Each structure stands twice: as structure tokens, then as C-alpha cells.
Amino acid sequence: MGAVPGYRIVLASGSPRRRAIMTGMGLEFTVVTSGVDETLHDYDGASDFTVQVARRKALAVARSEPEALVVGCDTVVGLDGRIFVKPDSEQDAARTLRELRGRTHHVTTGVVVVHGVTGRCHGRSATTAVTMRAFGDDEIAAYVASGEPLDKAGSYAIQGAGGALVDRIDGEYDTVVGLPVSVLTDLLREFDRPDQPGRTVPGLRPPGVRPPGLRPPGLRPPGLRPPAVS
């Protein structure tokens, strides 16, 4: 995609996976982590949750980077009306994986782009369905012991050893990794359209953006079979 004319881009996330995706898009950007509290109690489903938290991250960084386009992201796993964020312990990670195995859950990533000087804010989410294998307790124990699940929403990383736990996906692979390329591309393009001013940002302009709903899932990536957990 390249640069957005007239704007610097800042990623409000320390995630190496999101950095890799944006680099793969050909974007030039810097990283400033937000350090915000990601706890949220008042939300309407996974889309609302992720867009609210992504907006919170982007807004925190936009206050120190007002001239840049600040990209905030958040990813959660949803199953049976519940939202799974990052586990708080190895026991929590193992418990989450036992609930996910052999079933289909949904991974939602919210993306928000904020421009502090103008107060413009565009946000959207995407969701991908992920079906897990009926893996055994021994696989769960080995995977949790590797440490990989401990900082991942839903307690697994599809792009790492956790991919061996996945049977299939229906939707964009990048959504599960943590940054849907199609959504970010669309949001950045909004800043080239003067007829699409977006919503204004709380703390910079009243009132805030409300998530417009789920984006239809994209194409399934070919050959999803990472190495098995040893």
C-alpha cells in the first residue's frame, strides 16, 4: 500500500505480529505503545469490545503524536457469548484451550485510526471463524509449557506452534493474527477522502466513534498446517 500522502503513521502496539503485517503492506511507520488498561465492562459484543479498546489505545498515543495517523488494534476470541482475552496464568490458558478444542469459535480484531489534529477517527472490526482440532490434554500441557499462549488472546497463536491445534478457518487469516489487512487498508484510505470526515475522537473532539459492525469474512489462506507441538 505504501505511505498515506501527507501523514505519518504510528502503530499504537508493541506486537511483533502487527508490525510484521504492516511492514508486509509496504507501510512506513513508527511504534509507540499505549500502555492503557484494556479492561472493559460496558460493551455490546466482541465487535464493540475490540473497537472500544482499539480506540482507547489509539487515542492515548494520539495525544503525544497529534499530527500522525495512529493505528490502534485489539483482538479477542468469542465462544458461547463469552469473550476470551489474554490468559492471566498457565492454568487459565489450559482451561481456555480445553473449552476451545473440537469446537468453532470466532476471533474478532478491531482497528481504529485516529488523527489528533483534526479529531478524525475511523474504526471497524473483522471476524474469522476458527475450528480447533480435538487435541488431547497432553498437547495442551506441552503447548502451555512452551509459554507461547500466555500473551495471546484465546491462549493460542495461529502463526506459531498453536497453528497445529487448528483444523480450519473461515475468514481472513490476518484477523486471527491480530490485524486484518483489508480493514486497515480501507481505514487509511478514508483519510484521502475529504467527503468522509469520519467521527470525532473523545478527548480531542466530541463525541466518539461507534463500531459499524462486523466486516464480512475474507478468503481462507491456503495450506494452514504449521508444525505440530513437540
Active site residues: 74
Query: C-alpha grid cell for residue 71?
Result: 493505528
Q: What is the DSSP string of 73-134?
A: EEEEEEETTEEE-S-SSHHHHHHHHHHHTTSEEEEEEEEEEEETTTTEEEEEEEEEEEEE--
Query: C-alpha grid cell for residue 98?
Result: 480445553
Q: What is the DSSP string of the chain?
A: --PPTT--EEE----HHHHHHHHHTT---EE----------S-SHHHHHHHHHHHHHHHHHHTT-TTSEEEEEEEEEEETTEEE-S-SSHHHHHHHHHHHTTSEEEEEEEEEEEETTTTEEEEEEEEEEEEE----HHHHHHHHHTTGGGGSGGG--TTTGGGGGEEEEES-HHHHHT--HHHHHHHHHHTT-TT---EEPTTTSSS------EEPP-PPPS---PPPP-
